[in-house]
Amino acid sequence: MQIDDLKKLPINDDELYFDYDLKKLNWFNIGGKTKVFFKAKSLTGLVNFLKTFKKRGKIFVLGAGSNVLISDDDFNGVVIKLGKNFQNLSILNENLIIAGCGISQKKLSEFSRENSLTGMEFMSCIPGSVGGGI
């Protein structure tokens, strides 16, 4: 994988690292390094990164890291983690919730209860993010 173009990528609030240690990004504190680590803090930043990357190698999107085992071998690809702007919660109408993929399942369950909506109770004790749960 060529990473020269990624090194030239204008990074605003996003974070871009090379040879990044993945141990602290999962609940088991295991794993090797990834060639490229990108933490997207906005949808625009994510889109710009993906346009620059253009499918030149493997991509792995990491959620909360609660249900993933990361190999001690180095990952020759890109690991993407979505920042706080992907953790939105809102009500579209009286019975429809819009949830970002980065929000925890527990927070979604609590938000549902606080807004008198049912059906999300089972998520209250599941670790991980909504995106990972899907």
pLDDT tens digits for range 4-50: 666 666 666 789 999 999 998 999 999 999 999 999 999 999 998 99
Helix, strand and coil percent figures for the chain, each rounded to 5: 30, 30, 40
The overall average pLDDT reported for the chain is: 89
Q: What is the mean pLDDT of residues 52-80?
A: 90
On whether residue 134 sits in a domain, the answer given is no
Q: How many Å separate Cα 131 from the centre of its chain?
A: 8
One domain for residues 75 and 111: no
One domain for residues 91 and 121: yes
One domain for residues 70 and 121: no
Per-residue pLDDT band at 67 (split at 50, 70, 90): confident
One domain for residues 60 and 10: yes
Range of the domain at 98: 87-129
Residue 81 has pLDDT above 60, yes or no: yes
Please give the pLDDT value at position 38: 94
One domain for residues 13 and 69: yes
